[in-house]
Structure 1
Amino acid sequence: MKFSTKLVFQLITLVFFAGNVLLLILIIISGTTQSYPINRYYWVEGDTSSIPNAADVTRWTFWGACGVTDDRTVCSESLAPAYPISPVDNFHTHDNVPRRFISERDAFYYLSRFAFCFFWIALAFIGISFILYILTWLSSVLLQVVFILMAFGCVFNVVAVILQTAVAAMAKSAFHGDNRHAKIGASLMGIAWASVVLSIWEFVTVAIWFTHDKLKQYYQGDSLTEKHHNNFFHRDTEALNVPEPLMSPDAYSPNPNPNMANDINTPIINPSGVTNAENIPGSTNLPIVREPITTPLPAVVPAEENGHKGINFFKIRRTHKPNPDDVSV
């Protein structure tokens, strides 16, 4: 069930990506063809009958100012990129131009031109995100790239639509202020705001999946790191293979290992349980009596003592027979 829900959201987001790209393309091609329904798309329509060098009714599309014939947008060959919604610049005159277009000329000019550029940038980012999003179904490595590209695409898309809406509303208000007919193109403006909604949905969805993927990698990474550390220490313990030191019954010194013949600390015990201290060079004549050792226990032998070249007491015992008179009871 979880997999099915995720798949459904992925398909919905994919459709939204495709729809967003399509809407931006429709905005960009408005004014470039006389075919239906593209010839119905425009930003704002105004009465320019009394303005020299202008048609009776002018529609401003994405690529410039066009005339109207039978409610169809008819554009001439004077279209240009970043064409502003500014009758002063479009018709090269100030005669009979509404006053706001003259007093606020810079606002109309720059808002229109920046909106044109931002639409192109938004299409570039969202288009690349759409292609890479399809590849994220095969590998989640590209999810971070899609998230970054979609963030920029969403910002530029929203800003472009806001700027274009602002300049269209200002143009309509300027015509109405001069008692002229004007209206905003509902179709193209609706397409623009629909692209905003889709881009926001896409960005939020990709952000959620990207965050979920990062958190999943983070927690899995902690588990793998802890497991790796545990295995590391476990390997070290096995490699050293050092047994725990065992204490003798007197709880002061480790039990001697009778198997280590070269251990200088190991006393020599005869069957009677008496240590032949006389056989140890440098020892006193007083015997040291210890309890007989019945069960051998392992002892920790330092590396430097293990390799110590000293007197082999077992060898001395074999070559020098003890005098019975020297043995004390």
Structure 2
Amino acid sequence: MAISRSTLSLAGITFLAGAIVMMFFIVLAGVSDANPLNKTYFLSADTSSITDARDRSQWTYFYICSPGNVDCSGAWPAPAFGWAWSQDAANAPSELAGSAGNNTTNHYYYLMWRFGWVFFLLGLFFAVMAWFSSFLACCGRLGAGLAGLSSAVALLFYTVAVALITTTFVKARNAFLADDKDAQLGTYAFGFMWGAWAAIFIATVLFCIGTRTQRSAAGGGKRWGRTRSVRSELGGRRVKEDYA
């Protein structure tokens, strides 16, 4: 049984909307201590022995906070990883400390987090643009194609963001553990982040499938693939009649 283009478009719109909501949960973490924002962080680590650091620090998109995402630092675009402690702090993991970010952060983590932060924002922006354009998918193959293209662009930027952010915080967690400090990844933040990636991917596939649905020549239904040309059939009959 064929699936109509409107059904595919509606499903794609729903998946994109879900992805955008999950991405906003990540961006807004630290703004409020309401659930699930208070549980949304990329990394939580024991920083009690580090100079001028909280007993335990949680890294979110805009903030560095205490457990529960309270007592947060000021909001800052792509905050340096080492802003959880002071300049040239003692007892900070040697792999994380460095001269970047006012002598708080290793250059690798400083740049990886900064680029991941930017690509995440680009992915969110294009996901929103794709959601608006996705309503055109209900109008025909061209609309489905435009929606699929917009969604694919969002997927491209967001894939880079997810790869960079995941790599950064997994390596940071390992650096804390290697320094005998307790650390764990945030299940909510990474669940939302990878869930949003899967939703954008599925939406892109649905819009692309929508470009292949056709109205059959015999009725009003839908079928997959290209319809046979009526002109070709008439031409074939004419040839047969000429040779009869």
Q: Which TM-score tier does this pair reach, normalised by the shorter chain?
A: 0.7 to 0.9
Find the aligned partners of 1:225 and 1:90 in 2 and give their Cα distance. Answer: 75
| Higher CA-based Rg | 1
What one-letter code is carried by the residue in structure 2 that aligns with 1:101? L
- In structure 2, the residue matched to 1:78 is 74
Do residues 92 (structure 1) and 87 (structure 2) align? yes
Q: Matches of residues 143-162 of structure 1 in structure 2 within 5 Å?
A: 143-162=144-163
Which residue is 2:179 aligned to? 178
Instruction: Tell me the amino acid that sits aligned with residue 206 of structure 2.
Output: T
C-alpha deviations, 1:183-226, integer Å up to 9, x for none? 1111111111111111111122222223556xx9x956x94887
Shift of 1:165: 0.9
The equivalent of 2:2 in structure 1 is: 2
Equivalent residues of 2:123, 2:158 under 8 A apart: yes
When residues 164 and 100 of structure 1 are mapped into structure 2, their CA distance, relative to the original with a 3 A threshold, is: same
Q: Give me the TM-score of the superposition, normalised by structure 2.
A: 0.79
For residues 62 and 12 of structure 1, the distance between their equivalents in structure 2, rounded to whole angstroms, comes to 29
How high is the TM-score relative to the length of structure 1?
0.60
Instruction: State the alpha-carbon separation in 2 of the partners of residues 33 and 195 from structure 1.
Output: 21
Quote the Cα distance in structure 1 between the aligned partners of 2:145 and 2:5: 18
1:51-200 aligned within 5 A: 51-68=50-67, 72-87=68-83, 91-102=86-97, 105-200=106-201
Percent identity (aligned): 23
Amino acid paired to 2:49: S
Matched, 1:30 2:26: no
**1:100 is paired with a residue of what secondary structure?**
coil
Aligned residues: 219
Following superposition, the deviation at residue 36 of structure 1 comes to 2.1
Which residue identity is paired with 2:94? R
Q: CA deviation at 1:13?
A: 2.3
Q: C-alpha distance in 2, partners of 1:75/1:130?
A: 35
The runs of 5 or more residues in structure 1 that have no matched partner are: 231-329
Deviations 1:17-41, CA, capped at 9 Å, x for gaps: 1111111111111122222221111
Cα–Cα, structure 1 residues 138 and 207, in superposed 2: closer, same or farther, change >3 Å? closer
Gaps of 5+ in 2: 99-104, 215-222, 236-244
Q: Conserved in 2, the CA contact under 8 Å of 1:65 and 1:90?
A: no
